[in-house]
């Protein structure tokens, strides 16, 4: 990457003590998140709405709608991998964000057309657009500051406030327009938001000169040719062949999506084997802990992402949403997560700082485990809602309000440290690939969320909600029970840099790589830090 090589740090116009470029990126991301979460908030409701209803949709079954929701939200994350590679190898972050914004404008615009071909075309363009924009715009924020600039953490905090403001407004405005005036008007409003964001980004290019420029040939040629090695290692080839064969079988059997997913996982497993073989014993131990972290991440997002799927349908169909004489639109409940993040992000971060200063366990693995448990307990409120529904024929809104509260507290415990922890444990030469694996794990979690929503159509919502709570609790307690041996396997990597718990406070997802001088990983200027002494 060519971050900040020609950026004039000293002569940049400022606003509130920060480069004006920060606020260009702030509003770009705010409107991009507005468009994405606005569309996501009404997607499943549109799919299940009857074709002959006052506000018609596709009339799909809930199982089919949740299946698509799972695939869509998974692909949005997985697309970050080619999006990041496109920026690192060819376009640079700045042009990739520009391309992503244009694709998103086109995708949201097409979604406003009332035709099935337009719907799927729009989703495909949105997936590609988010893949180009999402993993690169956060990197550009870091490029606005010199190494060691104490304004950087504040800059990222401002940036993430924009993300959560966008998500909060989207659930309210797009959700209301979609429910009251028509789903396609809601999609159109989301598109207008993205168009505003793109205009802001294009008009602010003069404040981003030298940030996120295209890489030089020397930089790209210096990267390890991991995929070339994939077909030269016996164990990697064997794993690739076996898992790919399963994928081909699934495709032939008619499960095309799962077959392609298996082939993608085959490459991921093959690359992981190469990483493991080419590492020393300390690095191998750390990689083992990293791969375990991916399982925690899949578990977390597999439960958390019920928000736009099963919990969204539950709010629409089984919740008494009357507040006085006003019926609360179902998508509005999704605004609780970004609202809670804005309200509780700092208190939760300060709690962990206080907890650590008391000399108590505050490792990243512990925080992730606690976050999974707390988030899982939020589904006990949904179990209570389900039992109330079975008894009375409807459930109260406070169940959803409390469930989202625990989900957000859990997210604030786990999400800020997850990617930071992974990058600290990853060998410096592989850190970019491990970031891609992180997005892939998050995407798989989203697919699991869709599959659980589908399962609820036959198993029952009470059983699924309760099962999620139990499973998350067991996984969290298991990690806590194994904490000492797992921490030994990290060989002190986490202590290489201070973890303030404030690297990330974004609603719904994680996007930024932390950047302490003591961390092994790529700098914002594209160079690579020496790995820590081991």
Split at pLDDT 50, 70, 90, the class of 427 is confident
CB 84 within 8 A of CB 436: yes
Q: How far apart are CA 338 and CA 329, in angstroms?
A: 17
Is the pLDDT confidence value at 328 over 90?
yes
Phi, psi of 322 (to 5 degrees): -80, 125
pTM: 0.84
pLDDT at 8: 66
Please write the tens of the pLDDT for every residue from 163-183.
889 999 999 999 999 999 999
Q: Which CATH class is domain 291-506?
A: mainly alpha
Percent of the chain residues topping a pLDDT of 70: 88
Split at pLDDT 50, 70, 90, the class of 243 is very high
Q: How far apart are CA 332 and CA 486, in angstroms?
A: 41
DSSP state of 331: G
Least confident of 113-117, 256-260, 428-432: 428-432
pLDDT at 218: 64
- Check if 1-223 and 291-506 are the same fold: yes
Assigned token pair, 175? 């959700």
When the candidates are 1.20.1250.20, 3.20.20.10, 3.40.50.1220, 3.30.70.260, the CATH number that belongs to 1-223 is 1.20.1250.20
Q: How far is CA 226 from the centre of its chain?
A: 25
Is the pLDDT confidence value at 428 over 80?
no
Domain ranges of the chain: 1-223, 225-278, 291-506
Please write the tens of the pLDDT for every residue from 33-74.
998 899 888 999 999 999 888 889 999 999 999 999 999 999
Split at pLDDT 50, 70, 90, the class of 219 is low
Assigned token pair, 461? 């919502």
Question: Strand (E) positions, 234-389?
Answer: 322-323, 326-327
Split at pLDDT 50, 70, 90, the class of 214 is confident
pLDDT at 221: 57
Average pLDDT, the chain: 84
Q: How far apart are CA 333 and CA 312, in angstroms?
A: 8
CB 133 within 8 A of CB 97: yes
Please write the tens of the pLDDT for every residue from 491-518.
887 765 544 444 444 443 333 333 443 3
CB 194 within 8 A of CB 101: yes
């Amino acid at each position: 990457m060519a971050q900040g090589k020609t950026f004039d740090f000293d002569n940049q116009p400022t606003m509130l003590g920060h480069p004006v470029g920060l606020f260009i990126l702030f509003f770009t991301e705010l409107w991009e998140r507005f468009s994405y979460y606005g569309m996501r908030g009404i997607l499943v409701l549109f799919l299940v709405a009857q074709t002959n209803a006052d506000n018609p949709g596709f009339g799909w079954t809930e199982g089919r709608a949740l299946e698509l929701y799972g695939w869509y939200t998974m692909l949005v994350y997985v697309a970050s991998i080619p999006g990041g590679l496109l920026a690192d190898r060819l376009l640079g972050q700045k042009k990739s964000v520009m391309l992503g914004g244009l694709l998103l404008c086109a995708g949201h615009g097409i979604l406003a057309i009332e035709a099935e071909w337009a719907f799927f075309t729009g989703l495909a363009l949105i997936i590609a657009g988010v893949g180009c924009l999402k993993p690169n715009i956060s990197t550009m924020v870091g490029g606005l500051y010199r190494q060691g600039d104490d304004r950087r953490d504040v800059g990222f905090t401002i940036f993430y406030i924009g993300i959560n403001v966008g998500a909060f407004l989207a659930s309210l405005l797009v959700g209301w327009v979609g429910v009251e005036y028509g789903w396609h008007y809601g999609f159109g409003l989301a598109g207008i938001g993205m168009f505003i964001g793109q205009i802001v980004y294009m008009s602010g290019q003069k404040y981003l000169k030298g940030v996120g420029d295209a890489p030089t040939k020397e930089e790209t040629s210096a990267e390890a040719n991991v995929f070339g090695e994939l077909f030269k290692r016996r164990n990697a080839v064997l794993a690739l062949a076996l898992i790919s064969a399963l994928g081909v079988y699934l495709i032939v059997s008619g499960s095309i999506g799962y077959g392609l997913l298996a082939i993608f996982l085959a490459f991921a497993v093959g690359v992981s084997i190469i990483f493991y073989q080419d590492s020393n014993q300390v690095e191998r131990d750390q990689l083992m802990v990293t791969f375990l972290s991916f399982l925690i991440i899949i578990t977390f997002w597999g439960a958390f992402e019920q928000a736009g799927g099963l919990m969204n349908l539950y709010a629409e169909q089984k919740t008494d949403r009357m507040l006085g004489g006003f019926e609360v639109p179902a998508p509005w409940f999704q605004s609780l997560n970004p609202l809670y993040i804005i309200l509780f992000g700092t208190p939760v971060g300060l709690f962990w700082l206080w907890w650590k200063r008391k000399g108590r366990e505050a490792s990243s693995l512990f925080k992730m485990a606690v976050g999974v448990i707390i988030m899982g307990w939020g589904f006990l409120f949904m179990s209570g809602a389900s039992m109330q529904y079975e008894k009375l024929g409807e459930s109260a809104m406070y169940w959803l309000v409390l469930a989202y509260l625990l989900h957000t507290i859990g997210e604030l415990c786990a999400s800020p440290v997850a990617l930071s922890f992974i990058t600290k444990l990853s060998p410096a030469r592989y850190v970019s690939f491990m970031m891609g694996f992180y997005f892939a794990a998050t995407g798989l979690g989203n697919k699991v969320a869709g599959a659980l929503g589908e399962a609820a159509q036959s198993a029952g919502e009470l059983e699924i909600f309760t099962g999620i709570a139990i499973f998350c609790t067991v996984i969290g307690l298991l990690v806590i029970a194994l904490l000492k041996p797992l921490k030994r396997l990290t060989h002190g990597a986490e202590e290489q840099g201070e973890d303030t718990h404030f690297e990330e406070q974004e609603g719904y997802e994680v996007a930024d790589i932390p950047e302490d001088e003591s961390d092994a990983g790529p700098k914002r200027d594209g160079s690579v830090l020496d790995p820590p002494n081991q």
